[in-house]
C-alpha cells in the first residue's frame, strides 16, 4: 500500500506526513484551492521531503509557462494534471518536462470509464477521483466520493491511485471494494479547509495499511 497526502502547505506538514508513512506528498498550484501555494512556499515545503518520498505538483489546465516556472524552482518528481487535459496534452507535458505525469480522471457513472481508459494509454499513473459536483469551484478536494463499485475487479495497464472523499473512517472499505494499492487524500485529513490534522493523517495511513494487511479477495485485486 502506498499513500499520497495531497494539499500540504508547509515543511512542518510534510514532516508530519512523512513521519506517518506517506509515500507521496502533494503541493497544489491552483489559486482557487484553499491549499494553493506560491512557487516559493512550495519550494520550501518540497525541500523538507526526504529522498524516496515522491513530490507531486498538482496543476489544473496549466500553461507551459507555469509548468516551466514551477519546475525551475521546486524539486518535483511527478506532475499531476487535474483539469480537462486531453491525452495529447498529457503527452506534450511528459515530453516538455521529462517527468512522469499522473492524470486525474473524475468518475460519477459507468460512462466516465471511457475517459479513464483513454488517459491510461498515455499517463504514467492515473488518479481515479470523484467527478466534482455541478458548479464546484475546484476539480478535486471537494470531499466527494464516487460509487467504488464502478471500478471493482478491474485491472489496468498502469499504476493508479484511488481518491475522492476518502477519510480515515472509510478508506478500508474503499480498498476492500476496489482492490486499490494506492490511495490519495487531502480534505479527508483536515480539521479546516487547507489545514491538515496530524492525528487524522496518521489514522488514515494506519487504516490503509491495516486494510491491505487484512487482504483483498483475489477477484478484486488491481494493479499496481
Say if strands 190-192 and 195-196 run parallel, antiparallel, or are unpaired: antiparallel
117 is catalytic: no
Q: CA 25, CA 23: separation in Å to the nearest integer?
A: 7
Which single residue is written with the C-alpha cell 502506498? 2
Which single residue is written with the C-alpha cell 497544489? 28
List the catalytic residue out of 64, 129, 191, 197.
129
Question: Which residues, including other chains, have CB under 8 Å from residue 98's CB and lie 6 or more apart?
Answer: none
Annotate 44-89 with DSSP letters as a single string: HHHTTSPTTSEEEEEESS--HHHHHHHHHHS--SEEEE-SS--HHH
Q: Is residue 29 within a helix (H) or strand (E), and if so which, with residue range?
A: strand 24-29
- Residue 190, beta-bridge partner list: 196
List the catalytic residue out of 6, 64, 77, 112.
6
Q: Is residue 150 within a helix (H) or strand (E), and if so which, with residue range?
A: none
6 is catalytic: yes
- Output Rg (C-alpha) for the chain, integer angstroms: 16
Q: Mind telling me the catalytic residues?
A: 6, 129
Amino acid at each position: 500500500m502506498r499513500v499520497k497526502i495531497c494539499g500540504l502547505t508547509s515543511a512542518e506538514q510534510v514532516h508530519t506526513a512523512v513521519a506517518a508513512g506517506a509515500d507521496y506528498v502533494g503541493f497544489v498550484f491552483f489559486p482557487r484551492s484553499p491549499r494553493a501555494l506560491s512557487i516559493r512556499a512550495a519550494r520550501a515545503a518540497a525541500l523538507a521531503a526526504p529522498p524516496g518520498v515522491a513530490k507531486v505538483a498538482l496543476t489544473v489546465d496549466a500553461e507551459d509557462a507555469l509548468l516551466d516556472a514551477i519546475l525551475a524552482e521546486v524539486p518535483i518528481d511527478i506532475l499531476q494534471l487535474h483539469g480537462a487535459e486531453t491525452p495529447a496534452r498529457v503527452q506534450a507535458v511528459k515530453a516538455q518536462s521529462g517527468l512522469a505525469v499522473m492524470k486525474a480522471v473524475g468518475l460519477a457513472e459507468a460512462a466516465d470509464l471511457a475517459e479513464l481508459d483513454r488517459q491510461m494509454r498515455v499517463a504514467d499513473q492515473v488518479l481515479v477521483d470523484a467527478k466534482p459536483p455541478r458548479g464546484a469551484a475546484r476539480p478535486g478536494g471537494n470531499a466527494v466520493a464516487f460509487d467504488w463499485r464502478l471500478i471493482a475487479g478491474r485491472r489496468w495497464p498502469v499504476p493508479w491511485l484511488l481518491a475522492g472523499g476518502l477519510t480515515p473512517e472509510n478508506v478500508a472499505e474503499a480498498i476492500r471494494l476496489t482492490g486499490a494499492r494506492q490511495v490519495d487524500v487531502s480534505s479527508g485529513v483536515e480539521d479546516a479547509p487547507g489545514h491538515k490534522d496530524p492525528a487524522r493523517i496518521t489514522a488514515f495511513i494506519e487504516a490503509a495499511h491495516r486494510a491491505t494487511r487484512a487482504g483483498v479477495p483475489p477477484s478484486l485485486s488491481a494493479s499496481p
